[in-house]
């Protein structure tokens, strides 16, 4: 196995053609009969990962994104067959995708399945966050067998243990640990990361047996910058009084960006943007909500909240705006520019110190998008995000936004959460009345 910078062990293409898009009108089968239509459950990619099929507002211009998410494994296999390239799975959005893409590699984010599992206990502590345990379970169960390698840019202890356990117990040809600095506010952070990116580049070149050409890296930077620009153009439409897309659709769109070739995703975004001006949701907007906190790819939860009479109009998490917030500068040494981009992006709590920059950023986003309330969520046992919750909720409350805090596990108790969400939305409606 070709690997680099192994951490000390702490153990004790195209969417599937012709896919049927189910329509539905039955009452919600997950959380009761009063919250609106609920889609049936479908298995994506033949991997055994069960996620609800997006609701009927996700048909049409968002179908490609949904299909890519559901068929992520099939897409990756088809991409490998079509291009002859390799696929690397990454665990954190601080991973420098552009460098891998320039090497002819498809970077794919490793995500969980939101299913109960019993395979990770020998490898990772039960009090580690459910996301990292769910991700490791996918590797142990063989659901990412199409990966040629894995890599991680240092983020938190929990997901690093997922990476280390995957290295030891899941057959893989290549692995790499990138020491992404935590103290991103230091003037030394970007120069340090640039040198680490050069070491990562050399490791990729050694593995592949070829050099990464400078024009290929510039092209990758351009393609990724274009993707971020297009995503922001879509997000800007959510500021409208009646947004043309739901929060569920926005999540499908960003999740797909973390799974497919950015050129395919860019083409789909351009097609979507041509159709959005005339598009309307087939329901009232309802309460305008923000969601922020830990990683969130729980489509079922987003669907439940919006079916209760709300629309998520903005987010701040790594499956949303934090993933595509800022572009890479156009001028200068490419590795220096990439380093600055990843150091200067909106930070996750592990890197947001000594000054807490993310709190005013979240408040500014909520105001810009006209959010009336915010759902602050965290993955259970996620210490960095838990430490952020008091400061976030206080700042949002001081800005006039009510907040609802929810703690997520591998599976989300939709019925219980629905009761709390309905009470929260009722509070927002009372504010409108009085």
Per-residue HEC secondary structure of 98-126 comes to HHHHHCCEEEEECCCCCCCCCCCCCCCCC
Indicate the pTM of the whole model: 0.86
Give the integer Cα–Cα distance in Å for 18 and 40: 19
Q: Is the peptide bond before 354 cis (omega within 30 degrees of 0)?
A: yes
As a 3-state breakdown, the chain gives helix, strand, coil percent values, each rounded to 5, of: 45, 15, 40
Residue of 361, 364, 394, 360 lying closest to 376 (CA atoms): 394
Give the integer Cα–Cα distance in Å for 117 and 141: 10
Give the integer Cα–Cα distance in Å for 75 and 73: 5
Q: Please say whether the beta carbons of 169 and 150 come within 8 A.
A: no
The dihedral sign for the CA sequence 293, 135, 9, 172: negative
Q: Strands, E, within 122-171: which ranges?
A: 149-153
Give the integer Cα–Cα distance in Å for 352 and 260: 29
From first to last of its 434 residues, the chain has per-residue pLDDT tens of 555 554 433 333 332 333 332 222 233 333 333 343 333 333 333 344 434 334 444 458 999 999 999 999 999 999 999 999 999 999 999 999 999 999 999 999 999 988 888 898 888 888 888 888 899 999 999 999 999 999 999 988 888 999 999 999 999 999 999 999 999 999 999 999 999 999 999 999 999 999 999 999 999 999 999 999 999 999 999 999 999 999 999 999 999 999 999 999 999 999 999 999 999 999 999 999 999 988 888 899 999 999 999 999 999 998 999 999 999 999 999 999 999 999 999 998 889 989 999 999 999 999 999 999 999 988 887 778 788 889 999 999 999 999 999 988 777 788 888 999 999 999 998 876 55
């Amino acid at each position: 196995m070709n690997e680099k910078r192994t951490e000390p062990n702490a153990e004790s293409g195209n969417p599937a053609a012709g896919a049927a898009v189910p329509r539905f009108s039955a009452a919600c089968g997950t959380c009761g009969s009063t919250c609106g239509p609920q889609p049936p459950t479908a298995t994506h990619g033949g991997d055994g990962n069960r996620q609800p099929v997006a609701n009927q507002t996700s048909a049409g211009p968002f179908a490609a994104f949904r299909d890519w998410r559901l068929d992520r494994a099939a897409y990756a296999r088809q991409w490998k067959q079509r291009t002859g390239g390799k696929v690397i799975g990454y665990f954190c959005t601080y991973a420098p995708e552009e460098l891998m893409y320039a090497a002819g590699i498809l970077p794919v984010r490793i995500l969980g399945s939101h299913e109960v599992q019993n395979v990770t206990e020998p490898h990772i502590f039960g009090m580690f966050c459910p996301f990292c345990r769910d991700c490791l379970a996918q590797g142990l169960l063989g659901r990412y067998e199409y990966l040629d390698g894995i890599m991680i840019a240092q983020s938190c202890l929990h997901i690093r243990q997922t990476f280390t356990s995957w290295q030891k117990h899941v057959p893989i040809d290549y692995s790499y640990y990138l020491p992404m600095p935590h103290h991103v506010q230091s003037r030394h952070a970007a120069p340090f990361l640039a040198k680490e990116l050069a070491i990562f580049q050399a490791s990729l070149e050694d593995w592949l047996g070829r050099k990464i050409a400078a024009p290929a890296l510039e092209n990758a930077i351009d393609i990724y910058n274009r993707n971020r620009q297009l995503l922001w153009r879509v997000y800007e439409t959510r500021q409208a009084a009646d947004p043309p897309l739901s929060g569920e659709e926005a999540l499908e769109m960003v999740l797909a960006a973390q799974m497919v070739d950015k050129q395919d995703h860019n083409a789909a975004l351009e097609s979507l943007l041509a159709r959005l001006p005339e598009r309307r949701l087939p329901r009232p907007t309802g309460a305008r909500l923000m969601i922020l906190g830990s990683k969130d790819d729980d489509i079922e939860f987003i669907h439940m909240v919006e079916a209760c009479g709300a629309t998520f109009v903005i987010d701040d998490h790594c499956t949303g705006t934090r993933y595509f917030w800022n572009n890479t500068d156009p001028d200068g040494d490419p590795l220096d520019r990439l380093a600055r981009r990843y150091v200067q992006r909106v930070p996750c709590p592990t890197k947001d110190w000594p000054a807490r920059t993310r709190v005013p950023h979240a408040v500014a986003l909520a105001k810009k998008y006209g959010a009336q309330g915010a759902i602050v969520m965290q993955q259970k046992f996620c210490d960095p995000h838990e430490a952020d919750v008091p400061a976030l909720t206080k700042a949002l409350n001081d800005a006039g936004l009510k907040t609802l805090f929810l703690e997520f596990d591998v599976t989300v108790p939709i019925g219980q959460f629905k009761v709390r969400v309905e009470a929260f939305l009722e509070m927002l409606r009372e504010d409108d009345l009085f």
